[in-house]
Amino acid sequence: MELAGALQLGELAAAFAALPVFPLFDTAYFIVSVLYLKYEPGAVEMSRKSPFASWLCAMLHCFGSYILADLLLGESPIDYFSNNSSVILATAVWYLIFFCPMNLFYKCVSFLPMKLIFVAMKEVVRVRKIAAGVHHAHHRYHHGWFIMMATGWVKGSGVALLSNFEQLLRGVWKPETNEILRMSFPTKASLYGTVLFTLQQTRWLPISEANLIFFFTMFMIVCKVFMTATHSHASPFAPVESFICPVFFGSVSSGHTSHHHDQHGASHEVSHPPPPLAKSKEELNEGTRKRKAKKAE
């Protein structure tokens, strides 16, 4: 018996999974995506100097996951732009956030209570995209587990994975911000989520797709809303990773790394006194030699 059935949540999960995301949830997704673009240093100035470049960056933030997934599956990367309604809606959101008189629209959507609602709605779309990516890849490659996981992952976090390319459009190059090297919480959650959806799609996880969508969406909403409300960048996976990674990979968690840096910095601070100590020993040895020389005389 499934957990959802025991809790009598099957009908609720099925209704939730069948809930359409366009236009309401997609609008929230576009708003949060373009907001993150506006938060980037120099994004406002770029929108004034080169509106077209700003629009391209906004489209990458809104549709980057679809572009990357289509590239992985050998389809046209501009195929999703045939969806005129979504492109027009994303363009309208971009224009209002960047060019609305007196920044009225931006002030409204960035107001924290409103922003938290949009963030929660965005996670609904993210989980749907992960599930759709795994399902699409399973239809093309029935036994390609890694293809399913890769497609679902880029569907959920393709915008972050394309961040370096998006930076180039803004005239910025920061290779140290590569999302593969430093995964953010949405990227990690998308990776773990696509593993779950792949196991479910291949019948290794005894739960229906609707129930998995419901429970994983609730998890993502709670985590993202809490992190946004508290302005926290701490990952909920950190305690588990700090325990598992040293055992299996011998890696050091971020907490240990910072502690190491602190000790390293402290060692530099303490390393300054040794030269005087070494000098005093030399002086002491020199004094000893002089005394011996006097005795010999």
Please answer whether residues 124 and 21 qualify as being in contact, where contact means their C-beta atoms are separated by less than 8 angstroms.
Answer: yes
Q: What's the pLDDT at 197?
A: 97
Q: What's the pLDDT at 254?
A: 47
Distance CA 148, CA 288 (A): 77
Distance CA 90, CA 63 (A): 9
Q: What's the pLDDT at 170?
A: 85
Q: What's the pLDDT at 251?
A: 62
Per-residue pLDDT of the chain (297 residues; tens, 9 = 90+): 455 454 567 888 889 999 999 999 999 999 999 999 999 988 999 999 999 999 999 999 999 999 999 999 999 999 889 999 999 999 999 999 999 999 999 999 999 999 999 999 999 999 999 999 999 999 999 889 999 999 999 999 988 998 888 888 888 888 787 888 889 999 999 999 999 999 999 999 999 999 999 999 999 999 999 999 999 888 888 888 888 888 888 865 444 333 333 333 333 333 344 444 444 444 445 555 555 444 444
Q: What's the pLDDT at 232?
A: 87
**pTM, to two decimals:** 0.80
What's the number of CA atoms in the CB half-sphere (13 Å) around residue 198?
Answer: 20
Q: Is 123 exposed, middle or buried (0-12, 13-18, 19+ CB in 10 A)?
A: buried
Please answer whether residues 65 and 122 qualify as being in contact, where contact means their C-beta atoms are separated by less than 8 angstroms.
Answer: no
Q: What's the pLDDT at 128?
A: 96
Q: What's the pLDDT at 267?
A: 36
